[in-house]
Structure 1
Amino acid sequence: MNSQKTFYYIALGLFATAVIGSIVNSIINYDLIVETFIKLGYPVYLIHVLGVFQSIGLILIIFNKSHWALEWVYAGFFMNYFLGAMAHLAVKDGNGASAVVCIVLLFVTYIQSKKIRDSNSELAEFGKPKHAKFI
C-alpha cells in the first residue's frame, strides 16, 4: 500500500511540475505561445482559459476531495493534451512529445489514485458488522 502511495505521489509530482511549467511558460513566453497557437489554428484567448482551468484542475487533483469532479478533471486534462498532440501532428510541428509524456503521467496518476481509493474503501469496510436484512 505504501509503495502505491509513493508511486502515486512521484507521478503526481512530475505531472504537477509539467502543468506548472506549462502555465509559467505561457506567462513568460507569451508572444511565442501566441505564435504557436496561431500556427496550430487555435484562438489566442484560449491561452488564458487553459491557464486558469489547468490551475483549477491541478488544485482539485492535489487535494483529491470530490470523486465526481476528479473524473471530469482527468477527462479535461486528457482532452487538452490529446488534442494538443494531435494538433502538433496535424501541422507537422513535431512538438507534441511533451503532451504525450503528460498523458502517460496523467494515466499513471489516475490509475494509482483509483487503486488507493479502492484499497482505502476496502479498509474502511473491514471490520464493520454485516447486518441481516429483515423482510
Structure 2
Amino acid sequence: MKNKELLIYRIVTVLFSLLIMLGVSQYFFNYEMVKGMFEQLHFPSYLIYPMGVMKTLGVIAIWVKVPKTIKEWAYAGFAFNLLLGISAHLNVADGEYYGALIALILASISYFYYRKVNVAVA
C-alpha cells in the first residue's frame, strides 16, 4: 500500500512542479506579457521576479530533504498564492482562473499524500 501512495505522491508532485515551473519560466522569459497580466489583475509588476524566485524555492523545498516546517510552509505559500490568484481572476472576471485552480488541486493532493507517506514512515 505504501508503494502505491508514494507513486501517487510523486506523480502528482511532478505534475504540480511542472505547472508551477512553467509559470515561473514565463515570469523570467516573457516578462512583458506577465507584466500586462499582473496589471490587469491589479497587482504591482515589481512582484514578478520575487514571486518567481519564491516559487522556485518552494518547488525545491518540496523535493529536497529539508526540515518538515520548511516543507509545510512551502505548501502553505503555494496555497495562499494560488487562492489569491483564483480570487484575482474571479474579481476581474477574465475566466483565467483554471490554471491556478488545477495547480491548487494538484498541490492539495500532493500535500495529502506527502503527509500520508511520511506518517507511514515515522
* Structure 1 length-normalised TM: 0.87
Deviations 1:97-132 (A, max 9, x none): 0000000000000000000110001xxxxxxxxxxx
CA contact (8 A) 2:17 2:59 kept: yes
Structure 1 segments (4+ residues) deviating >2 Å: none
Aligned to 2:76: 75
CA contact (8 A) 2:5 2:117 kept: yes
Aligned to 1:12: 13
- In structure 2, C-alpha distance between the alignment counterparts of 1:95 and 1:33, rounded to whole Å: 13
CA contact (8 A) 2:28 2:49 kept: no
One-letter amino acid of the counterpart of residue 13, structure 2:
L
How far is the alpha carbon of 1:31 from its aligned partner? Answer: 0.8
Bigger mean CA deviation after superposition, 78-87 or 26-35? 26-35
Uncovered stretches (5+) of structure 2, i.e. residues with no partner: none
One-letter amino acid of the counterpart of residue 22, structure 1:
G
How far is the alpha carbon of 1:30 from its aligned partner? Answer: 1.2
Q: Which has the higher contact order (CA 8 A, sep 6+)?
A: 2
One-letter amino acid of the counterpart of residue 46, structure 2:
Y
- In structure 1, C-alpha distance between the alignment counterparts of 2:43 and 2:65, rounded to whole Å: 31
* Structure 2 length-normalised TM: 0.96
Larger Rg: 1
Deviations 1:17-49 (A, max 9, x none): 001101112222211110110111101011111
Q: Is residue 2:32 matched to residue 1:31?
A: yes
**Relative to total residues, which structure has the larger helix share, 1 or 2?**
2
One-letter amino acid of the counterpart of residue 84, structure 1:
G
One-letter amino acid of the counterpart of residue 2, structure 1:
N
What's the secondary structure of 1:41's corresponding residue? coil
One-letter amino acid of the counterpart of residue 85, structure 2:
G
Uncovered stretches (5+) of structure 1, i.e. residues with no partner: 122-135
> How many pairs are equivalent?
121
- In structure 2, C-alpha distance between the alignment counterparts of 1:50 and 1:111, rounded to whole Å: 24
